[in-house]
């Protein structure tokens, strides 16, 4: 399974970098994605409700993708 962290690949200059949320993508089988989402909730990273439903990846008979946006942590 692939876990990707997005947000830095698009030039969005209208939002201050300190306030721009980052995106997290999960790519894998539907079961792997659901398991990972559940594990991330157990460690209190985020709630399951914040994730998009897993959707099939075009051209693949087993890959799914799910995305979640999260505010950057304030230090």
Radius of gyration of the chain from its Cα atoms, rounded to whole angstroms? 14
Q: How many CB atoms lie within 10 A of CB 57?
A: 13
Q: What is the pLDDT of residue 22?
A: 83
Q: What is the pLDDT of residue 62?
A: 96
Weakest-pLDDT range from 2-6, 28-32, 39-43: 2-6
pLDDT at 11 over 90: no
Q: What is the pLDDT of residue 7?
A: 56
Q: How far is Cα 9 from Cα 4, in angstroms, rounded to an integer?
A: 12
Q: Which H, E and C letters describe 22-49, residue by residue?
A: EEEEEEECHHHHHHHHHHHHHCCCCCHH
* β-sheet bridge partners, residue 2: 27
Mean pLDDT over 12-33 rounds to: 80
């Amino acid at each position: 399974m692939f876990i990707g962290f997005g947000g830095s690949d698009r030039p969005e200059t209208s939002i201050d970098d300190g306030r721009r949320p980052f995106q997290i993508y999960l790519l894998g089988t539907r079961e792997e994605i659901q398991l990972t989402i559940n594990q991330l909730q157990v460690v209190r990273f985020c709630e399951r409700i914040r994730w998009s439903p897993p959707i099939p990846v075009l051209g693949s008979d087993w890959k799914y993708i799910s995305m979640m946006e999260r505010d950057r942590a304030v230090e």
